[in-house]
Structure 1
Amino acid sequence: MRVSTAERVANYAILMIFAALALTPVVTILVTALSPETPADAQTGGPVHWENLARAWDQGRFGEYLRNSVAVAALVVSLATVLSTMAGYAFGAFTFAGSQVLFYVFLLGIMVPAEAIVVPLFFDLRYLGLTDTIWAIALPQVAQSIAFGTFWMRAFFRGANRSLIEAARLDGAGHHRVLWQVLVPVARPAMTTMVLLMFMWTWNEFLIPLVMSPTGQLRTAPLGLALFQGQYTQGTTLLAAGAILVALPVVVLYLFLQRHFISGMLAGAVRE
């Protein structure tokens, strides 16, 4: 089917409109963050005030909060990726008694919102002495991420080339070797997409870190930004600079993995 020039122009025009709508808030925050904070700054500094980022970093203690977020995200993503890959392989490559029911139990982690379980979960973790620790923040998010990751990897393994598995089994490979040496290299685009989504969700999580650290000993970057907003409700410049500092790791990781992310999304169509 041949697309006419008018249709092509219309498609590009629609895409440009939506791109402008999506980029306008980002550009607004960036311009605000690099604008002069006071009239005195406008007279003494140049047109771009990079020092606003340094001020927000120091005054908002974003170095500490970003380290906490990195630690939580690394723990959640690493554990959830390994466990989701193994569970997805079990549900996608095999059929065993109760597999369908057990898979639906896994899906409850996607369907049940965190707001519905966060209060009883807090009391359980407090009873175990885990509140105000990294485990109290990470473990609930590991469970949520495993639910999604199992669903995602099951879809991939169900559509994987069966000849690869059969050839490996004929060579004497066990399940461990088939999974990690044969299927995982092929599943790299899908796993990259899964890792990026898990990292983004964990990085932006607000409720669980807020509840699981009642004393505020372990504040993550979104919590630090909320606290910074309370301190600088009038200082929109520093607040915008803090928002950039919090969002920058996710943006950098997405730009670095963009090609793998897109290929994983295109290959991630669920086939039941």
Structure 2
Amino acid sequence: MTRHLTRLSLLVAAASVLVPFYAIVAASLRPQDELSPGLGWPSDPQWHNYADAWTTGGFAELMRSSLIIACGVVPIALILATLAGYGLSTMRLAAKGPIFALLMLGLALPYEAIVIPLYYDLKTVGLLNTYWAVILPLIGAFMPFGVFWMRNHFESLPPELTEAAAMDGASSGQILRKILLPTARPALTTLGLLYFMWAWNQFLLALILIQDPSMRTAPSGLGKFIQAYGRNIPLLSAGTVIVIVPVVILYLFFQRHFVKGILQGAVK
């Protein structure tokens, strides 16, 4: 009985993800004058809807901006989260507990509470309307989770690894590079993928801190696209698919590493 309930739950969870995605793809292939597309697959798919959405929505520039922001956030955030997680898990620090508690408070801090102060601060230093206006706040916003993630990974490793390396004369940097980082590939891959998805899907910060429409992220550009073509459901669906496909492809490519990283702590 339990096995059947588990399978049923998995089927329901899979359907809740796949059915909406199928509905969006099917709607994107309908004629543009059709106001209420159904769930059925169209008999004459209008593949040109994707070309129309790509051109009219300016998604080439928007996706380039999203890629620049994501590629700026991910490596810096990974390096800082790894160093902080390593320090908080292996080093003897007097204020280790308060520092970690302060970082964890950042998990409860919403973007809406900081976006207005960020606007004026970035305007003062001259970074408003640049990619750095989104990259730097996202790095800071992602740090609490990243430090928590990497700290848990390093603490799950046997302490004998670092102790043996220290007895052999290895420095802290050598222990991190040669001993701990090779074991952290699944954790780093999962964290990097999460960072990329969060940065790619950023909407609010890009909408407020970047005034140039061509420099905004794809999701924020999609919001403007919806305002302009609110009644053209097939065109809107095509634009939505264009925005989410890169993240889906990236997830499918790193799926095994992602699942391995999620389950690594539980297995150990």
Q: What TM-score does the superposition give when structure 1 sets the normalisation length?
A: 0.90
Instruction: Find the counterpart in structure 1 of residue 25 from structure 2.
Output: 30
CA–CA distance in structure 2, aligned partners of residues 256 and 58 of structure 1 = 27
Output aligned runs, 1:31-46, within 5 Å.
Answer: 31-38=26-33
Q: Contact 2:213/2:221 (CA < 8 Å) preserved in 1?
A: no
In the alignment, which residue of structure 2 is the partner of 1:75?
72
Give the gaps of 5 or more residues in structure 2. Answer: 35-41
Q: Which runs of 4+ in 1 moved over 4 A?
A: none
The Cα shift of 1:224 comes to 1.0
Q: 1:14 to 1:110 in 2, by over 3 A?
A: closer
1:216 corresponds in structure 2 to 213
Counting only pairs closer than 5 Å after superposition, residues 84-103 of structure 1 correspond to structure 2 as: 84-103=81-100
Could you tell me how far apart the structure 1 residues matched to 2:199 and 2:7 are? 34
Is 1:166 aligned with 2:163? yes
Q: Which moved more, 1:103-112 or 1:220-229?
A: 103-112
Counterpart secondary structure, 2:189: helix
Counterpart secondary structure, 1:234: coil
The one of 244, 247, 250 equivalent to 1:250 is 247
Give me the CA root mean square deviation: 1.9
1:31-72: CA deviation from partner (whole Å, max 9, x where unpaired) = 111223247xxxxx9733222111111111101000000000
Corresponding letter in the other structure for 1:12: R
Alignment of 1:68-147 (within 5 A): 68-147=65-144
* Matching of residue 268 in structure 1 with residue 252 in structure 2: no
- Structure 1 unaligned residues grouped into runs of 5+: 1-5, 40-44
Alpha-carbon offset, residue 242 of structure 1: 0.5
Question: Deviation at 1:109?
Answer: 2.2
User: What is the CA–CA distance in structure 2 between the aligned matches of 1:242 and 1:264, rounded to whole Å?
Assistant: 32
Q: 2-side partners of 1:200 and 1:185: how far apart?
A: 24
Is contact 1:169–1:178 with CA below 8 Å preserved after alignment? yes
SS at match of 2:44: coil
Aligned residues of 2:201 and 2:217 also touching (Cα < 8 A):
no
TM-score (norm. length: structure 2): 0.91
Counterpart of 2:100 in structure 1: which amino acid? Answer: F
Distance in 1 between residues matched to 2:267 and 2:7, nearest whole Å? 29
1:226 corresponds to which letter in structure 2? Answer: G
| Secondary structure, aligned partner of 1:48 | coil
